[in-house]
């Protein structure tokens, strides 16, 4: 080994020692840089996604609509018009959903007032014993918990559907969400971002209420964690309040110039919208002659066995059939209707019976159980409400056997004969075609009528009879000219005889 080799060996050993002895702080932090890169790429993706959503929203034309807040502002613009306000209140209460909401608000107000008075000691003179106060506190607490949980359960399918529409964000989705979250249903700057914030806050409200419900049902009052209850109550109350304020104070609740909004829309979607309008107009005029001016229900309410397969589907799978029929006639998403209808008919039973577990009073416990059963039965009014909407939109005849009120009659039909009512609605939708929110005759029926009135010629339908030949046609015409007095289709004519030679005229060759 030479001197050079020794020097190289010593240098190599020195380099290895320096690598080992080198502290980690002197090395560059690769992990931090990768995290920054990942965060930067995620923010860039989110920014690009929001730009794409904004481009889609600008390409959708705005359609202004008057909402309930405008009507209230008109009533209170100068002075309170009590007559107009009473009229609006009566119209509002005629809606079955609003009647149920009013009843819900009334029960919540009564239970909340009793709970407040028990907590503050205002009922100590009436409820002298602490055990009595504890029972009243727990009963009203469980009632409020059940009512707010039911409301979240009823609203959550719609909120999930709105989140799906936000993630998908197509032209129809933009229009649907604008009508719900935007002032006057018009275009707003960065509306996708603001709608996403509101929808996520509403979801947070539902999950906080579910957590509070789990604490109230899973623990007795003495064992219930106070911190968990306080957090859930705070989030459940704050989330919808912040969502409402955000909707009002953000661009969603502000009124923009519709002309300016139309100028901001991208010209890329103009051709598509024009084409869509043309197609809708062509479709409308093509079916203009087939519109049914006075549509009828297909059969009576009790004619459920008119269609056997439909009858069994209505009996054993009413929720799915109802949701499918509602989406088919243009009343919203099928899955939202199915989930909401199931919750209306099943959730009160479980919620109220679970709420009665932690109550020591036997009579109150049975009362809550029966209340849940009654609310489950009244959940069938969900079908009655949509039957009213179907009858009004398609101008179907009404039943007036309940005090001459068609709406009450529709709800009664669903309350006492839900399967028969559902089968009648599905049969009626099957017997028509739905075009532009109108019932039209089906093309199959028109074609059958045309076939009966004007039968096609032998080759008009495009199908050639294999037994057809020119010689047979000539023979048939000649025989019919020879014997005009013979009735057609005579049974004695087994075969047609050929004409005699003098009747055959040939051209000179």
Write down which residue in 201, 234, 255 finishes a domain. Answer: 255
CA distance 23 to 45: 37
Give the helix/strand (H/E) hosting 426: helix 418-430
For residue 63, pLDDT over 70 is answered with no
For residue 201, pLDDT over 90 is answered with yes
CA distance 460 to 454: 12
Rounded to the nearest 5 degrees, what angle is found at the Cα of 403, between the Cα atoms of 400 and 409? 50
Tell me the mean pLDDT in the region 268-290: 47
Same domain, 297 and 246: no
Same domain, 249 and 291: no
Give the chain's mean pLDDT.
74
With respect to residue 25, please indicate whether it lies within any of the assigned structural domains.
no
DSSP 291: B
pTM of the model: 0.67
With respect to residue 264, please indicate whether it lies within any of the assigned structural domains.
no
Tell me the mean pLDDT in the region 344-360: 84
Same domain, 338 and 403: yes
With respect to residue 43, please indicate whether it lies within any of the assigned structural domains.
no
Same domain, 411 and 312: yes
For residue 187, pLDDT over 60 is answered with yes
Q: In this predicted model, what pLDDT tens digit does every residue of 397-406 receive, in sequence order?
A: 888 887 778 8
Same domain, 418 and 302: yes
With respect to residue 388, please indicate whether it lies within any of the assigned structural domains.
yes
With respect to residue 443, please indicate whether it lies within any of the assigned structural domains.
yes
Domain with 210 in it = 140-255
For residue 189, pLDDT over 80 is answered with yes
Same domain, 441 and 362: yes
User: Which of 37-51, 354-368, 405-419 is predicted with the least confidence, judged by mean pLDDT?
Assistant: 37-51
More confident residue, 299 or 275: 299
pLDDT at position 498: 52
With respect to residue 403, please indicate whether it lies within any of the assigned structural domains.
yes
With respect to residue 153, please indicate whether it lies within any of the assigned structural domains.
yes
User: Which of 60-64, 112-116, 334-338, 420-424 is predicted with the least confidence, judged by mean pLDDT?
Assistant: 60-64
More confident residue, 484 or 310: 310
For 504, left (φ over 0), alpha (ψ -120 to 50), or beta?
beta
Write down which residue in 255, 276, 302 finishes a domain. Answer: 255
Biggest alpha carbon distance in the chain? Answer: 136
pLDDT at position 30: 45
Same domain, 299 and 445: yes
Same domain, 244 and 391: no
Tokens standing for residue 8: 């190289």
**Contact in structure between 81 and 75 (CB atoms under 8 Å):** yes
Same domain, 413 and 319: yes
| 291 beta partners | 440
Same domain, 147 and 238: yes
As a whole-number percent, the residues of the chain with pLDDT over 90 amount to: 16
When divided into structural domains, the chain yields a total of 2
For residue 29, pLDDT over 70 is answered with no
User: Which of 110-119, 185-194, 470-479 is predicted with the least confidence, judged by mean pLDDT?
Assistant: 470-479
Same domain, 205 and 346: no
Same domain, 407 and 304: yes
| 196 beta partners | none
With respect to residue 47, please indicate whether it lies within any of the assigned structural domains.
no
Nearest Cα neighbor of 505 from 474, 484, 469, 473 is 474
pLDDT at position 430: 87
């Amino acid at each position: 080994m030479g001197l050079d080799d020794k020097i190289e060996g010593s240098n190599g050993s020195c380099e290895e020692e320096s690598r080992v002895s080198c502290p980690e702080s002197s090395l560059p932090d690769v992990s931090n840089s990768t995290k920054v890169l990942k965060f930067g790429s995620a923010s860039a993706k989110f920014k690009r996604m929001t730009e794409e959503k904004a481009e889609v929203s600008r390409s959708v034309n705005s359609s202004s609509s008057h909402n309930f807040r405008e009507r209230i502002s008109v009533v209170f613009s100068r002075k309170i018009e009590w007559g107009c306000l009473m009229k609006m209140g009566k119209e509002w209460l005629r809606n079955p959903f609003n009647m149920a909401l009013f009843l819900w608000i009334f029960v919540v107000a009564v239970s909340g007032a009793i709970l407040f008075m028990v907590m503050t000691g205002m009922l100590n003179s009436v409820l002298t014993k602490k055990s009595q106060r504890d029972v009243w506190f727990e009963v009203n607490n469980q009632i409020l918990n059940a009512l707010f949980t039911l409301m979240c359960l009823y609203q959550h399918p719609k909120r999930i559907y709105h989140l799906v529409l936000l993630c998908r964000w197509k032209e129809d989705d933009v229009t649907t969400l604008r009508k719900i979250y935007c002032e006057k249903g018009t275009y707003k700057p960065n509306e996708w971002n603001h709608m996403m914030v509101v929808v996520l806050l509403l979801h947070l409200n539902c999950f906080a209420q579910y957590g509070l419900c789990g604490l109230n049902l899973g623990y007795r009052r003495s064992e219930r964690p106070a911190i968990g209850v306080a957090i859930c109550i705070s989030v459940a109350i704050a989330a919808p309040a912040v969502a409402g304020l955000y909707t009002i104070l953000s661009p969603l609740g502000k009124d923009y110039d519709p002309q300016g909004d139309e100028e901001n829309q991208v010209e890329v979607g103009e051709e598509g919208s024009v084409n869509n309008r043309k197609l809708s107009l062509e479709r409308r005029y093509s079916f203009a002659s087939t519109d049914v001016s006075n549509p009828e229900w297909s059969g009576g309410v009790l004619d459920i066995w008119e269609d056997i397969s439909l009858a069994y589907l209505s009996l054993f799978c009413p929720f799915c059939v109802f949701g499918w029929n509602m989406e088919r006639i243009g009343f919203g998403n099928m899955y939202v209707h199915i989930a909401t209808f199931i919750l209306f008919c099943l959730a009160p039973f479980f919620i109220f019976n679970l709420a009665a577990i932690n109550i020591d009073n036997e009579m109150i416990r049975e009362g809550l159980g029966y209340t849940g059963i009654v609310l489950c039965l009244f959940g069938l009014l969900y079908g009655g409400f949509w039957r009213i909407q179907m009858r009004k939109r398609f101008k179907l005849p009404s039943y007036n056997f309940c005090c001459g009120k068609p709406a009450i009659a529709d709800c009664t039909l669903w309350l006492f004969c839900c399967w028969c009512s559902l089968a009648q609605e599905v049969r009626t939708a099957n017997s028509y075609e739905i075009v532009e929110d109108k019932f039209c005759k089906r093309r199959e029926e028109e074609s059958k009528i045309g076939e009966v009135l004007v039968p096609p010629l032998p080759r008009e339908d495009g199908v050639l009879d294999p037994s057809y030949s020119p010689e047979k046609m000539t023979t048939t015409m000649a025989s019919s000219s020879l014997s005009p007095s013979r009735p057609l289709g005579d049974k004695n004519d087994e075969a047609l005889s050929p004409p005699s030679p003098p009747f055959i005229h040939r051209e000179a060759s």
